[in-house]
Amino acid sequence: MATGFLTDTTVCIGCKACEVACKQWNQLPADGYEFTGDSYDNTKQLSGTTWRHVAFIENPKKRRLTGDVDLVALAEDVTEPLPGGAELDALGRWAFMSDVCKHCVAAPCQQACPTGSIIRNEFDNVYIQPDICNGCGYCVPACPYGVITQVPNDGRAFKCTLCYDRQIDGLEPACAKACPTNSIQFGDVEDLKVIAEQRVQELQDKGYTQAYVWGTPEVGGTGGIDGNHSKFILMDEPEVYNLPRHPFLPQEKFRGGVIASAVAATVLGAVVALAFRD
C-alpha cells in the first residue's frame, strides 16, 4: 500500500500547527530569527530543517480598494454602494497552503542520489536514510520543488520522512494529527485520490470553479514524474503557491546527454587524429 498526504488548502487557516508538530516530533532545529517583512510568513520555505511550511498568500485578486473605505461596512460584507463613490468588492482572500515533500512517484531526488541513500520504503514513501547520506548535495538541485537542502553543521540532506517511525507504529504523521481543520489528511493514496476528487466536485458545485487537484499525472502536469503521493487541492495557479506548473524529471535527458557527448568525443578524436597528419 502506498501512503501519502492530501492537503486541502481551502480549509487551511494558517495556524502553522503542522509546522510546529513536525519540528517537535522530528526534533528539527530552529531556522533562526528571520523577519521577511513581506507577510506573516517568516519560515519562507521548505528546507532540511523545515519539512512542513505554511505559505501565507495575500491574494486580493483584481479587487480595487479605493476611496473612503468604511472598514466596518467592509467587515460586515455590506454590498450596497458606498458613500463617496468608493469601489469595493471585499478585502480579497488570504490563501494558506501547507507545503511538504511531494513524495514523487518517480522521484528525481531518489534517481539523483549516488549513494542509494534515498529509497522507497515499505509505505512507498521517498525516504532518505540518514546513516547512508554522505552530503554530496546532488539531490538538492534535482528536486523540482525545492524540498531538500543540505543542513549546515550536519552536512547531510534531510526532508520529510512522512513520519516513517510513526507509520511503523500505526500512527498518522504528526502534521496530519495536529491539523485542527483536517486540511492535512493522511492515508492510502488511492483513497485520498477519491476524497480529493469528491472535494473538488463539492467546491465546483458551490461555484468555486477554480478548484482543482494538483499532483496527479492528469492535472497540473508532472512531466516524467508520474504524479505525487502528496496531493494538493488548490484554488489558484500553481505558481501562486510557489509550485511549478509542469515539473519535469531531470534525469530524463541524461541518456541523451551521454549520446551527444559520445558523438562529440568521436568528432574530437578525429580532429586530433587529423592534426597529426603532415
- Binding site per annotation, positions for [4Fe-4S] cluster: 12, 15, 18, 22, 101, 104, 109, 113, 133, 136, 139, 143, 160, 163, 175, 179
* Among 24, 79, 115, 201, interactor with other proteins by CB under 8 A: 115
Residue 257 is a binding residue for other proteins (CB under 8 A): yes
The half-sphere exposure of 159 on its side-chain side, counting CA atoms within 13 A, is 29
Annotated binding-site positions? 12, 15, 18, 22, 101, 104, 109, 113, 133, 136, 139, 143, 160, 163, 175, 179
* Among 132, 182, 194, 208, interactor with other proteins by CB under 8 A: 132
Give me the least distance between CB of 106 and other proteins, in Å please: 9
Q: Which of residues 145-174 bind ligand SF4 (CB under 6 A)?
A: 145, 147-148, 156-157, 159
Pairing of strands 93-100, 52-59: antiparallel
* Among 55, 133, 200, 243, interactor with ligand SF4 by CB under 6 A: 133
Residue 42 is a binding residue for other proteins (CB under 8 A): no
- Residue 203's alpha-carbon distances to 7, 84, 105, 164, 274, in angstroms, are 15, 36, 27, 32, 70
C-alpha span between 74 and 65 (Å, rounded) = 10
Residues listed for the chain: 278
C-alpha span between 204 and 3 (Å, rounded) = 26
Phi, psi (rounded to 5 degrees) for 171 = -100, 155
Residue 38 is a binding residue for other proteins (CB under 8 A): yes
- Residue 160 near residue 7, CB atoms below 8 Å: no
Q: Which of residues 63-122 bind ligand SF4 (CB under 6 A)?
A: 101-104, 107-109, 112-113, 115, 117-118
* Among 3, 26, 125, 150, interactor with other proteins by CB under 8 A: 150
Cell reading at 130: 540518514
Which sign does the torsion angle of CA 148, 149, 151, 155 carry?
positive
Residue 134 is a binding residue for ligand SF4 (CB under 6 A): yes
Q: How many CB atoms lie within 10 A of CB 32?
A: 7
Q: Which of residues 55-74 bind ligand SF4 (CB under 6 A)?
A: none
Residue 237 is a binding residue for other proteins (CB under 8 A): yes
